[in-house]
Structure 1
Amino acid sequence: MKYLFALFTFAVMLSFSSCITEEPEEPTPNNTGTGTGTGTGTGTGSGTGTGTGTGTGSGSTSGSPSQTVTGNYWSRNDGVRTAYLYLSGSTAKACADGKETIGTFKSSYPQSMTFVVSGNSITFPLQFEKDGANLLVGVPQQAINTNTATWYKKGSTYTCNSSTGGGGTTTPAAKGNAVFYTNLKKTGYAINVYVKVGSFEQSAFITQQHASSPGCASSSTGAAQFGGLEPKSYSWRATGYKWHASGTPTPTTWGGTVTITSNGCTAIELK
């Protein structure tokens, strides 16, 4: 149960403080009736009359709550991540951060979804808007004093990279590599280069000139190699020296942005 609360709260799926309960709407009477009557009368003199009449009628009363379940897919985004719900038949699925929990869905009024976690049964009341565009997920009794109900919007997909029952994990993207090289003319021992990519730092001697990228290799190529980088963009900087024929080095700084791709090799030339 604690895991399920943490899962929903962390993804802003279910941040509840009061239980949502809904009383059925008062039935709307539908009464119809028919009646017939007959009468006869006679009169004499100034006029007297008698009459009799009979009437019969029948009617029926019926009513039902206006809530209807429309759509199977629901989602909520808190600006950082998206949480998903799938409700169909008697199945309820909830997913956040690649972790999925599967439970049961009660589609008849009043609707609810129930999950069993560590032997604890947790039931969330559900309230569908009449237009079918939004769903209010209520608070289970176990959290009625600490959480509040949460709105979900109707969607068209349910995305969850996980295994059944809440133990799933999202497969991380493959890492990438970067190489820094130079084709600057040099004299003396080497071009001493200090390179920083994000929080990754490396000090290296670029001992060879390369007219083009030497590639990302595990063995030394006389270039500054960076491996195992998460696939995203990094800022980088390098400091070193440009050597001249006179033998006097000039302190130089390079910098920019490098984008790492999964299983890729991004090359940066220091010019």
Structure 2
Amino acid sequence: MLIYYQNPENLKGVSQMSDARLGRTFFRNAIHGSRLYLLLAVLVTSLVATGYVWAQKTVTITVDDAVYNIKTTKSYVRDCLKQAGIELGPQDAVNLALDEKLTKGAKIEVYRGGPVTIKADGKTIAVVMAKATVEDAVKGAGIVLGDLDRTVPDRATGFKPGMEIRVIRVTEKIEYRESPIAYPVEKRADDTLEKGLTHVVQAGHNGMKREKVRVRYEDGQPINTVVEEEQTISPPQPEILVVGADDMVHTSRGTVRFSRVMEMEATAYLPTDG
């Protein structure tokens, strides 16, 4: 059996080399660990930022005649309104449920509530409500609007507390009417008749026509009539009038041309007339 003995000096060198290697290994491991921590930090930050961007939504809020576009990470309508600083009164209403989850591009409309007076069918109704338009307010009061009915203000006008709304009932009817056709007058010049004189050769007579008309009524009163069809029952007979064209007067002193004829009455007075 052979036993080898190491020189102590050699062992010392080996020990020094091992310490150096351990130092380099530790340094490399430390650098590697730092890089790993840095990478993890960047990854976490990126995930957080991505999650924030993904959770952020653009929402449109319409309230008090103003429109706001806001960015929010809130999940519910109630929280979004609170973030925007919009307070709801006990009579106000919102087009979406307050506990409804928000989606990207959501449109929130806040309707301010209050008293409103509606006049319809001879009655006056006073109610408290919150609606989007005049039409919504009228329907909310239990009043049915026909297709032709109109309101003042117009149906599409935005609702405001304290406003007065009038409902006008509109109907249309088809009616048939007979009416006269006025006869025309035809004038014919006659050189054998003195200028200024006329003579009726043919008497005129009115004709008759039948019309189909559409009549528009508002609250029972006719306001407009449109003739849709017209049929002549009997044509009118024109009046034929002969008009004198002779502007020459023949007298014992010769022929005189005149421009017009005037009828005059002459009177005379004597000194003895009382």
TM-score band by shorter chain is under 0.3
Q: TM-score, normalised by structure 1?
A: 0.25
Q: TM-score, normalised by structure 2?
A: 0.25
Higher helix proportion (structure 1 or 2):
2
Q: Name the structure, 1 or 2, with higher relative contact order (CA <8 Å, separation 6+).
A: 1
